[in-house]
Amino acid sequence: MVVGDNMNLFKYTLDNKRYRTLNYELQKKFKSKVFKVSLNAGFTCPNIDGTVGYGGCIYCSKEGSGEFAGDKFKDLVTQFNEVKKVLERKWPNSKYIGYFQANTNTYAPISVLKEKYETILKLPNVVGLSISTRPDAISDDVLDYLEELNQKTYLTIELGLQTIHEKTSKLINRCHTLECFDEMVKKLKKRKINVVVHIINGLPYETKEMMLETVRHLNKLHIDGIKIHMLHILKNTLLETMYQKQKFHVLTKEEYVDIVCDQLEILRDDIVIHRITGDPKSDDLVEPAWLIKKFGVLNDIDKELERRNTFQGFNSSILNKVRQLIINNISSNDIVVDTTTGNGKDTLFLAKLIPKGFVYGFDIQKKAIYNTRKLLEDNNIKNFKLFNKSHEFILDILSDYKGKISLILFNLGYLPKGDKNITTNHKSTIEAIKGSLELLNNKGIIILTIYPGHPEGEKESIEIKKFLSSLKNYTIEEFHNDKNNISPYVVSIKK
C-alpha cells in the first residue's frame, strides 16, 4: 500500500479504504462501474460425486456455496438479465463480469464449458468472467481452453484453498492437498491468468497463528487477489452436525476483526481484496449471528485499521512501523532529532509533521549532510539545523534542550547508496542513546531501526540489547516484520 506522508491517503482505493479494493481495480481497468453477476450453471463437484470424495466440504450448503447465485433451473441468460435489470436502474452505464459461483465451475467437458461461458460473454456490456473452482478440477485441456479464453476477455479463476493446514483440510473434507493447490496456481500464472484465492477464518480448532500462516503462505505465491471469509455454520450441513455435537469455538466479531486486520498487515499490497467477510442468508445461518450485519463488520475492520494506523502490506517494510511510531508520538510544535540523516528522507518526513516545531539532524558523513540539506531546501523546509557530527555528541551539542525533545530517531547501519564500509558502531550509538535519554521530555520517545544483516550491525544489535536490558524505569518494545532474523527491526524507548 502506498500512502501519503500523513498515512491517511491510500493509493489503491476510491473510498479511502486501507486495503486494495476490487472496486478500485475494476474502475481503473474499465473506466466504469463494474458489477459481478453471480450465476448458477448447474455444475456438480468432484468432492460430491465420488471422484475425490463424497458429501462435499462440511460447510457447503445444498447450493454449493452459491447462496446468492441464480436459480439453476433457469437458463444463464435469464439469471443474468434478472440481476442486470435491477442494477441498471441505478447504474445504467455499467459493465458486468459473469461470475460462475456455485459448486465447481470447471468440472465438465470442454464443450459444456464453452457453451456456458461464451453464452455470457456474448451478452452486451459483459467484459469478463470470474470462475470459481477447485485446484484439483482443472484438467490440462481445460487449462488450454482457459488460456485461450484469457486472450479474449478479462478472466479470473477463483481457487478454493480455505487453509494450508492438512489436519484442518482433512477435517473439513477438502480432499485435495496443499501441493495440488500450489501447483495449480503455478500452472495458471504460467499462462498469465488472474488467480483469486478463497480462505476461511474460524475453521474448527484453528488458532489465530494458523490463520496467519495461511496468509503468509499465499504471500509467497503469485496470486492476484484474495477472498477472506468468516466460517458460517449453515443449517442442514455436516458442519452443523459437528457443531451441535462438539460446540467448537466460533470466533466473536472482535476476534474476527483482529485476525483480518493482522492478515491485511501481512498481505502484499499488490494483492486485491475481493471480499473481507462472509455473506450468508440469515434464514440458513446457525452461527455466528453477528455475520448478518455485514456492513457493521466492514466498518469495524476499517475502524480497527484506523485505530492501529496500519494498512494492507504494513508489515512488508519496517519503515512503516517507524513512521507509525513517529506519527503517534509527536505534535506539530515539537522539537525532534534525526541522529542519522542519511539521504534526508526521514528528516524531511519529520519536518513536515512539525511545521511549528524544529528538527535537528546529525550525520558523520559530509555527503549525507549535503544530500539532506538539498532535499529539505528543495521542499521549502526551513525549520531545521544540521550538524556534520557523530550522534555520540548529541548531548554536548543540544545541552540547552535537556528535557525538551519529544522524539529522537536512529536509523543504524550505513548510508544508502553510500560507502558500506562506513557504518554506525555500538560504542558511539550507545553513547548517543545515553545522551538522548537526558534530552527527552516526559512524553518523549527514542526510535531505533537496527540492521543486524552485516557484521558491525549484528554486533551493534547485540550490544544495544545488552545496554537496554540495564535501563530502569523505561518502557522498551521491539517490533519485527514477517521476514527473517537478519532483517531490520525497530526498538522504541519511552519514559
Q: What tens digit of pLDDT does each residue of 218-244 get?
A: 999 999 999 999 999 999 999 999 999
CB-based contact 283:320 (threshold 8 Å): no
**Cα dihedral 110, 115, 117, 118 sign:** positive
Residues with Cβ within 8 Å of residue 317, at least 6 apart in sequence: 481
Chain segment 206-220, per-residue pLDDT in tens: 999 999 999 999 999
User: Quick check: helix, strand or coil at residue 381?
Assistant: coil
* Structure letter (DSSP) for residue 172: T
pLDDT band at residue 7 under the 50/70/90 scheme: very low
Q: How far apart, in whole angstroms, are the C-alpha atoms of residue 150 and residue 173?
A: 31
In CATH terms, the superfamily for domain 318-494 is Vaccinia Virus protein VP39 (3.40.50.150)
Query: Is residue 9 pLDDT above 70, yes or no?
Result: no
Q: Say whether pTM exceeds 0.85.
A: yes
**Which residue(s) pair with 155 in the sheet?**
129
Chain segment 35-81, per-residue pLDDT in tens: 999 999 999 888 888 888 888 888 887 665 545 666 888 999 999 99
User: Quick check: helix, strand or coil at residue 153?
Assistant: coil
Residues with Cβ within 8 Å of residue 73, at least 6 apart in sequence: none
Which of 282, 215, 297, 209 shows the shortest CA–CA distance to 252? 297
Chain segment 94-123, per-residue pLDDT in tens: 999 999 998 899 999 999 999 999 999 999
Instruction: Report the mean per-residue pLDDT for the chain.
Output: 90
Which of 211, 237, 208, 268 shows the shortest CA–CA distance to 48? 237
453 against 108, higher pLDDT:
108
CB-based contact 76:120 (threshold 8 Å): yes
Instruction: Show the cell assigned to 432.
Output: 548517543
Query: Is residue 5 pLDDT above 50, yes or no?
Result: no
Q: What per-residue confidence (pLDDT) applies to 4?
A: 40
Query: Is residue 1 pLDDT above 50, yes or no?
Result: no
CATH class belonging to 22-316:
alpha beta
Instruction: Show the cell assigned to 61.
Output: 450448503
Chain segment 276-312, per-residue pLDDT in tens: 998 888 888 999 999 999 999 999 999 999 999 999 9
Residues with Cβ within 8 Å of residue 87, at least 6 apart in sequence: 35, 37, 94, 96
Query: Is residue 275 pLDDT above 90, yes or no?
Result: yes
Return the domain boundaries, the chain.
Answer: 22-316, 318-494
Instruction: Show the cell assigned to 4.
Output: 501519503
How many CB atoms sit inside 10 A of residue 359's CB? Answer: 27
Q: Mean pLDDT throughout 321-325? A: 93
% of the chain surpassing 70 pLDDT: 93
Which amino acid is present at 407? L
Q: What residue has cell string 486495503?
A: 19
CB-based contact 214:173 (threshold 8 Å): no
Q: Mean pLDDT throughout 461-488? A: 85
Query: Is residue 273 pLDDT above 80, yes or no?
Result: yes
